[in-house]
Amino acid sequence: MLISIIRTVILYIFIMFSLRVMGKRQLSEMQTSELVITLLISDIAVMPMQNTSTPLVSGIVPILILISLEIVFSVIMLKSGKFRKIVCGSPEMVIKDGRILQNQLRRLRMTTEDLCVQLRQQGIFSLEDVQYCIVETNGDVSVLEKPEKRTPSAEDLGIEIPDTGIEAVVINDSRYLSNSLELCNLDTKWVDKILKQNHIKLEDVFIMTANRKKEYNIIRRD
């Protein structure tokens, strides 16, 4: 039993490291090659975990080979657009100038219901609002609405909006986040000063956010 636990922990750490090397992607964002590699890794890892008579190396070596292949493929795809197109495919337009390209939908084996679902996820509930729609290589869609349906920007309205920078979490669960403080050009002394002004102790802070303009928001711990 102890051997099985140790083998499982080792494989878990190794697989987590291997997937980290492949990059930060959600399952829905994976390219075809990455999804294939991930499925193969999960299948290979099961054998040495279930069968203690199988050497641990029998699981680690194939995983190393798969990760190496993925890295090599990624480098080649960066260098060669043709190779990337063969492995990952290319974006396909399914709505052009407000007209659904039915042949493209059939070629992609995509129904109008599938298309409508994707559009709703983009906040678009009418096909008539769409000027262009492109199915990306990971299956997501990119949409450009018709000009009259687009939300006007501050520039369109002639409004000048000051740049406050990104709002970042500088305290999370009573702990300072140094990377976020650096991003906002702030330090712990400034945070301590703000907490003191608001009569709040660090241990009472659940979340605190701030930006470069020193605008902040504090949420107390319940």
pLDDT tens-digit series, residues 124-168? 999 999 999 999 987 889 999 999 988 888 888 888 888 878 899
- Encode pLDDT of 43-71 as tens digits: 888 887 777 787 888 888 888 898 888 88
- What number is the average pLDDT over the span 165-184? 93
Contact 39, 51 (CB under 8 A): no
User: pLDDT averaged over the chain?
Assistant: 87
Please state, for a pLDDT cut of 90, what percent of the chain lies above it.
Answer: 48
- What number is the average pLDDT over the span 194-200? 95
pLDDT band at 24 (very low <50, low <70, confident <90, very high): low
Please state, for a pLDDT cut of 70, what percent of the chain lies above it.
Answer: 95
Q: Which two tokens stand for residue 147?
A: 């000009």
Q: What is the pTM of this model?
A: 0.64
Count Cβ atoms below 10 Å from residue 172 Cβ, excluding itself. 14
Q: For the sheet with 168-172, list strands across it.
A: 175-176, 168-172, 205-210, 216-220
What is the secondary structure of 38-69 as a DSSP string? Answer: HHHHHHHHHHHHH-TTS-THHHHHHHHHHHHH
- How far is C-alpha 114 from the chain's CA centre? 22
* Residue 128, phi then psi, degrees to nearest 5: -70, -15
The CA R_g of the chain, rounded to the nearest whole Å, is 25
- Encode pLDDT of 89-111 as tens digits: 889 999 999 999 999 999 999 99
**Residue linked to tokens 């492949």:** 22
pLDDT band at 74 (very low <50, low <70, confident <90, very high): confident
**Residue linked to tokens 């099985």:** 4
Domains delineated in the chain: 1-87 (no CATH), 90-143 (3.30.240.20), 165-218 (3.30.240.20)
Three-class secondary structure assignment of 115-143: HHHHHHHCCCCCHHHEEEEEECCCCCEEE
- What number is the average pLDDT over the span 117-128? 93
Residue 208 or residue 87, greater confidence: 208
Q: Where are the beta strands (DSSP E) in the chain?
A: 92-96, 99-100, 130-135, 141-145, 168-172, 175-176, 205-210, 216-220
**Amino acid (1-letter code) at residue 70:** E
- What number is the average pLDDT over the span 194-215? 94
pLDDT band at 217 (very low <50, low <70, confident <90, very high): very high
- Cβ neighbors of 183 (< 8 A, separation 6 or more) are 165, 166, 168
**Residue linked to tokens 């190794």:** 14
